[in-house]
Amino acid sequence: MQKKFPLAGLSFFLASAGLLSSSLNVAAATDDLIGQAKTETTAVALKDPKAGKDNSAPAKAVDIIDMAAWQSVTTVAISPNGKWVAWRLAAADGDSSVVVKSVEGKEEYKFADGQGNGAIEFSADGQWMAFTSFMTKKDQDAAKKAKKPTPTKLSLVDLKTGKATVLDKVKKFAFPKEGGQWIAMHKDAAEGAASAAPATPAPTGGAAGASATPSRPKGSDLILRNLASGSSQNIGNVAEFGFDKQGRFLAYTIDANDKSGNGLMLMTLSTGVSKVLDDGEANYEKLMWTDKGDGITVLKGVEDKAYQDKLWSALGFRWESNEFQKTVIEPSKLKDFPTDMTISSDALPRWSRDFAWISFGIKDVKKKPKDEKKDPEADDKANLVLWHHQDKRLPTQQKVQQEIDKKRSSAAIYRVTENKFIRLGDDNLTQVSLPLAGEWALGQDDSQYQRQASMDGRRYADVYALNLKTGERRLLQKQARWSFGMSQDGRYYLHYNDGHFFSTELSSGKTHNLTAALSTSFIDTEDDHNVDKPPVQPFGWSSDSKSVLLSDGWDIWKVPADGSKAVMLTQDGKREQVRYQRRYTLDPNERGIDLSKPQYFSAYGEWNKKAGFLRVDPNGNAKRLAFEDVNYRRLLKAEKADVFVWSKETATIAPDVYVGDNQIASGRKLTDLTEQEKKFTLGSGARLIDYVGTDGKKLQAALFLPANYQAGKAYPTVVYIYEKLSQTLHSYVAPGLSGNGFNRSLYTSNGYAVLMPDITYRLNDPGMSAKESVLPALQAAINTGIVDGKRVGLQGHSWGGYQTSFLITQTNAFKAAAAGAALTNMISMYSLVYKNSGGTNQAIFESSQGRFLGAYNDNWEAYVRNSPVFFAKNVSTPLLMLQNDADGAVDYTQGVEYFNTLRRAGKDVIMLEYPGENHGLAKKPNQKDYMQRMKEFFDFHLKDTVAPEWMRNGVSWLKMDEHLKERAAMLAPVAKSQKDDKDEKTDKSSAAEKADKSDKAQKTETK
C-alpha cells in the first residue's frame, strides 16, 4: 500500500531517495537468504483477463518508436445533469482529441485538440461544453524553434448539434456555477503576448485569476456570449473577471493604458447593464466572490511618491437591499495599522461568511530614498553568499524560496461594524488559519524550531488560539508535532500526540482525548521511518464541525469533537484485512465532509490486492462496492444527478472510462483503449507472490508475465525496486516515455518478466533491509518456474537506484543492473544540499527515507555499512549508471564517486550523463535515448544479443555529436522500418561477441 507521511522531511525525488545499508559479509549471507525463501514463499496465480487470446494474430513487440503515438485518457468531466461525459484522449508525444458522449443516447462527438492538456467544462444546464484547444505538436515545435508564442484556443460545443465554435487566443473561460445561459472568454493581450498558459476556467464563487506581466497593463478583451441567443459582447481591457454563483452578475476589473477608466465593474446579466462599483487611477486585483455569490472583495493599489511600491487598500461589497454596499479598508485611516506597511497585493481578501470581517495580508513597504544614489558598477561590488551557523534556513534554501518570501505577509482582519483593524500574524506567527465565520482563528509559530528542523527533519510549532474580536493570543500547545487544523466553524482544533487524537476548544483551551476509550490504535504501524508513533492520517472535519472522521489504518471512525462516544462506521476492515483509505472529494467546492450525503472511500485488500469502493450513507450504514481483482483510477459524480464516472483497469486491460449509478456495480463502458493494442503484444497478466522479508515480515511481490507467456518456460527478468510495489499488481502501465528510463510494458512486450517486490526497513539499515526483502522475493519468483534465475537484471531510480547500487555489492544474483540517480556514499551525501529545495540532506537521512538514527558522527558504522562505495570491490555485476550534472536531489558527485571507484577497481561500469537534466529526464530526446540504451544493456546481458559499439568501447568526446545524431535517427519514426531489417541482420552476426559474452557469464557464475 502506498503511504503518505506527514513528516516534512524531503525525499529523493521521483518519489524520494534515502540512504541505504551495506553488509560486510556478502556472498554467504546472500546464499542464506535465497535458501530461506525456498520454504517461506508461495506463489498465487491470478486470472488473466486476456488469457486465451489468439496469440497467432499478427502482433509485434512494442518499440520505443511506437510509444509517442500511444493514447491514454487524461482529463475527464461529467455534466452537472449527468447526461454527458467528456474526456481527452492524448498521445504520449503527439496530438490529442476531445470526445464527448451521451450517457443515455448514442450521440458522440470528437474534436481535434492539438498537443496539450487543458480544462473541459460543462454549462450548468448541460447544454454546452467548452474546452481548451492547442496548436498541433508540429506547429508548437516550429513556434518554439522560432521563439514565437503558442497561444491556446477555446472550443465551444453545442451539445444539441455537436457543432463546435473555435475562438483563437483565449487564455481563460468560465460558465456560471448556476444558470447555463452565459460563457465568458478572456483573450490574450493583442500585442506582446508571451506564450499563453493553457485556458482554464475562471473561478465562480471564488477568486478570479489575472495574467500578464506587471510591467504593462493587464487588460485584454473579454467576450461575453449569451448561449441562448448567440449574441456576444466584447468588453475591453479586462484584467480579472468572475460570475456570481447564481449567474446573475459578472464582476470584472478594468486595467487599461495610463489607468484610464480603471475600476471594478458589475454587469447585471439579465439587462446587460454595467455599473461602476469603484474606479480611480489605480490597479484592481484579487477579485473574489463569496461562496454564495452575495459578496465581493478586491484590492486597490495606488502609486505614492514616498514609496517604491504601490499602497494597497481592500474593498468589500455586500449584497443588501437589492444593491451592493461598499466597505473601504484604507490603512492610512485605520488606528493601529503599522507604520510603513500596506495591505499585501499577494494575499486574497475574503469576507467571513457572516460579513462580520474581511481578512487580508499586510506587509512592509519600502520608502523611496531621499537622495538618489547611483548604484556602484558591477565590477566594484562584491559577489557574496554568506553562510551563518545561526541561519534558520540555509542560504541555498532562502534562494530557492525567495519568491515565496517576497510574497509572504502577516494575516489581519478588519471588523466592519466596529471599524477595527486587528493584526493576527507577524514575522514569527506566519501561519494563520481563519474559519469561514466565528470568533477564533488558529496560528502557528515555528520560529524556535526552524533551525533544528532544517537539520533533523522534525518539524514543530507552538499553536495559538487567536481571538478575532480582540486580537488576543492564547497558547494552546507548545512544540506541537502533528496539527490537523480547525473545524469549519473555528470552535475546535484537531491534533495528535503519543498515539492519540485530541480536540481542543479554542475559546476555553479545554482538550478532549478523542481516542483513549477506543479499542484500536491510530498509530501508523506501516510507517517505518525514524518517527515516533506517527499517526494514520485523518480524513478530516465534518461540514457541521461536530465530528471528525479518523482511520486506524483499516476502519473508519466517526468521532464527536466534544469527546463523546465514537461510532465505528465500518466493521470489517481489520477483520477482513481491507484498508479503507482515501475519501473521494466528489464536490470540488465542499467545505468539510458533508455527512448528510453519501461518502465514498477507496477499498484495498491488503493481501489479495483487490480494489473497490466503500459507500457510507447518512444513516451510518457502510457498504463495500465493486470489490474486484482490478484497480480504479478515478471517481467522479454529476453535481445534480446520481450518475458516476470511474476508470477500471488490470495489469493487461487499459483504464477505460465507465459511467453508471451510485452502486458502481456495473456500468456502461465509454472508451475502448484496447483497439490500439491489437497490433502489439504487451503482457500476459500478473502473479502475486508471498515471501518473508526484513525482520521476518510477511511481504508480497507482483510478478508481471511476458507477452505470449508459456507455462513451464523460464524467462529473463528485470527486478524493478523502490519501496512497496506489490500494490501495482492490477495497475496498467501504458507503453510510454519515462524520465527514469524504465517502462514495465516495454519489457513484458519484449519477452521479459518483471518483478516488483515490497521492501520494508529496519532503522539504521536501509541497504541491508533492501537485501533482506529483495533476495527472498527473487527466490520466490524463481520458485514459480517463470523467472530464469541465471538471467535476472536489477533496475531502480533515485531511492531505487541507491538500493540497486547497494545490492550488487552484496550479491551476485543479478547478471546486470541499471541504477539511476543513485546515492552511493551516505557519509558524503549526508551534509550536501538538496538543491531542488535548497535544504540539507540531513533531514532526509534522519526523518525520511534514510531511516538513520541521527548523524553519521553518532552512527559511523551504520553509515559505512549502508554505503555502496565502500564495498565496490565486491561488485561482479555489470552496471549501467545515470547521473546528471544538474540533479537537484542526488548530487552529481555521488555518481562520479561510485563510477570512479568501480573503474579503479576494474569493474564493468558505464555512466550516462545528460547535461542540464535534473533528477529525472525531462527532454523527450533524452528519455528516448536513455530508455533505448538501458534496453540494449539488458538485452545484451540477459538475452545474449550483440552489444552496440557504445557499450563495447564507449564514445570519444570528439565523436559524440555524430554518435548522437545517428542514435536520434535510429529512434525517429521514419527509421522504424529500416530498424526492423537491421535487427534481422544483427541476429545473425558476431559469433565471437557471443562467445566472449558466454565466457563472461561463466566467470560471473563461478564467482
Return the closest-CA partner of residue 790 out of 635, 992, 479, 1000: 1000
CA angle 768, 771, 776 (to 5 degrees): 140
The distance from CA 320 to its chain's CA centroid, rounded to whole angstroms, is 43
Q: Coil, helix or strand for 601?
A: strand
Provide the greatest CA pair distance for the chain: 93
Q: Which residue spans within 521-630 are E strands per DSSP?
A: 540-541, 547-551, 556-560, 567-568, 578-583, 599-605, 611-616, 622-628
CA angle 949, 954, 957 (to 5 degrees): 125
Residue-wise pLDDT tens digits, 288-327: 999 999 999 999 999 999 999 999 999 999 999 889 999 9
Residues of 786-810 as b/e, b for ≥16 C-beta within 10 angstroms? bbbeebbbbbbbbbbbbbbbbbbbb
**CA 587, CA 580: separation in Å to the nearest integer?**
20
Categorize the per-residue pLDDT at 682 as very low, low, confident or very high, splitting at 50, 70 and 90.
Answer: very high
Judged against a pLDDT cut of 50, whether residue 738 lies above it is answered with yes
Judged against a pLDDT cut of 90, whether residue 1 lies above it is answered with no
Looking at residue 376, what is its pLDDT?
Answer: 65
Write down the mean pLDDT value for the chain. Answer: 89
Residues of 231-257 as b/e, b for ≥16 C-beta within 10 angstroms? eeeebebbbbbbbbbbbbbbbbbbbbe
Average the pLDDT over 513-527 and give the result.
97
**CA 747, CA 729: separation in Å to the nearest integer?**
16
More confident: 371 or 529: 529
Return the closest-CA partner of residue 602 out of 583, 620, 630: 583
More confident: 994 or 654: 654
Looking at residue 375, what is its pLDDT?
Answer: 65
What's the one-letter identity of residue 9?
Answer: G
496 Cβ contact partners less than 8 Å away, ≥ 6 residues apart: 481, 482, 484, 502, 522, 535
Phi then psi for residue 918, to 5 deg, are: -90, -145
Judged against a pLDDT cut of 90, whether residue 266 lies above it is answered with yes
Judged against a pLDDT cut of 60, whether residue 671 lies above it is answered with yes
Return the closest-CA partner of residue 906 out of 873, 881, 939: 873
- DSSP H or E run through 314: strand 311-320
**CA 347, CA 285: separation in Å to the nearest integer?**
10
Mean pLDDT check: name the lowest of 234-243, 563-572, 988-997: 988-997
**CA 353, CA 278: separation in Å to the nearest integer?**
23
Class of domain 424-629: mainly beta
Residue-wise pLDDT tens digits, 13-63: 333 333 233 333 333 333 343 333 433 333 333 334 344 444 445 689 999
Phi then psi for residue 253, to 5 deg, are: -110, 145
- 199: cell is 485556458
Residue positions counted in the chain? 1007
- 841: cell is 540532506
Q: At what angle do helices 766-783 and 27-40 cross, to 10 degrees?
A: 50
Looking at residue 372, what is its pLDDT?
Answer: 64
More confident: 32 or 264: 264
**CA 131, CA 170: separation in Å to the nearest integer?**
10
The dihedral of CA 866, 867, 872, 877: what is its sign?
positive
Q: Identify the burial level of 47 via C-beta atoms within 10 angstroms of its C-beta, where 0-12 means exposed, 13-18 middle and 19 or more buried.
A: exposed
Return the closest-CA partner of residue 607 out of 578, 581, 582, 574: 578
1006 Cβ contact partners less than 8 Å away, ≥ 6 residues apart: none
Residue-wise pLDDT tens digits, 394-419: 999 999 999 999 999 999 999 999 99
Judged against a pLDDT cut of 60, whether residue 210 lies above it is answered with no
- Bridge partners for 350 per DSSP: 359
Return the closest-CA partner of residue 722 out of 846, 595, 822, 574: 822
The dihedral of CA 758, 9, 522, 619: what is its sign?
negative
Looking at residue 380, what is its pLDDT?
Answer: 83
**CA 437, CA 524: separation in Å to the nearest integer?**
33
**CA 971, CA 66: separation in Å to the nearest integer?**
10
Mean pLDDT check: name the lowest of 409-423, 895-909, 917-931, 984-998: 984-998
- 528: cell is 517505518
The dihedral of CA 937, 938, 944, 945: what is its sign?
negative
**CA 710, CA 684: separation in Å to the nearest integer?**
9
**CA 450, CA 463: separation in Å to the nearest integer?**
15
CA-based Rg of the chain, rounded to a whole angstrom? 31
Judged against a pLDDT cut of 80, whether residue 448 lies above it is answered with yes
Exposure on the CB side of residue 43, measured as CA atoms within 13 A: 20
**CA 240, CA 243: separation in Å to the nearest integer?**
11
Q: Identify the burial level of 641 via C-beta atoms within 10 angstroms of its C-beta, where 0-12 means exposed, 13-18 middle and 19 or more buried.
A: middle
Average the pLDDT over 93-114 and give the result.
95
**CA 682, CA 711: separation in Å to the nearest integer?**
17
- 374: cell is 547611483
Phi then psi for residue 428, to 5 deg, are: -100, -45
pTM of whole model > 0.85?
Answer: yes
Q: Residue 36: left (phi > 0), alpha (psi -120 to 50), or beta?
A: alpha
Judged against a pLDDT cut of 70, whether residue 88 lies above it is answered with yes
Return the closest-CA partner of residue 606 out of 573, 569, 577: 577
Looking at residue 81, what is its pLDDT?
Answer: 96
Phi then psi for residue 979, to 5 deg, are: -65, -40
Residue with cell 496530438: 95
Average the pLDDT over 111-128 and give the result.
95
Looking at residue 990, what is its pLDDT?
Answer: 44
Judged against a pLDDT cut of 70, whether residue 976 lies above it is answered with no
Q: H/E/C letters for each residue in 184-223?
A: EEEECCCCCCCCCCCCEECCCCCECCCCCCCCCCCCEEEE
Looking at residue 987, what is its pLDDT?
Answer: 44
Distances (CA, A) of 955 to 562, 938, 949, 960, 983: 70, 19, 8, 6, 22
Whole-number percent of the chain with pLDDT over 90? 84
The answer as to CATH 3.40.50.1820 being correct for domain 27-59+682-946+990-1006 is yes
- DSSP H or E run through 843: helix 842-847
What number of helices (H) and strands (E) belong to the chain?
Answer: 18, 58
Residue-wise pLDDT tens digits, 162-202: 999 999 999 999 999 998 799 999 999 864 433 344 455 55
Question: Cβ–Cβ contacts within 10 Å for residue 544, how many?
Answer: 15
**CA 331, CA 336: separation in Å to the nearest integer?**
9
Domain boundaries, the chain: 27-59+682-946+990-1006, 424-629
**CA 277, CA 293: separation in Å to the nearest integer?**
16
- 301: cell is 493599489
- 786: cell is 517463470
Residue-wise pLDDT tens digits, 778-819: 999 999 999 999 999 999 999 999 999 999 999 999 999 999
Judged against a pLDDT cut of 50, whether residue 631 lies above it is answered with yes
Q: Coil, helix or strand for 827?
A: helix
**CA 156, CA 151: separation in Å to the nearest integer?**
17
Return the closest-CA partner of residue 861 out of 19, 18, 17, 22: 22
Distances (CA, A) of 615 to 600, 623, 624, 727, 749: 5, 5, 6, 22, 38
Judged against a pLDDT cut of 80, whether residue 992 lies above it is answered with no
Q: How far apart are the first and last CA of the chain?
A: 37
- 491: cell is 470552535
Looking at residue 974, what is its pLDDT?
Answer: 61
More confident: 33 or 269: 269
Categorize the per-residue pLDDT at 1003 as very low, low, confident or very high, splitting at 50, 70 and 90.
Answer: very low
Distances (CA, A) of 469 to 136, 414, 420, 797: 56, 10, 9, 53
Return the closest-CA partner of residue 311 out of 323, 324, 299, 294: 299
Say if residues 823 and 18 touch (Cβ distance below 8 Å).
yes
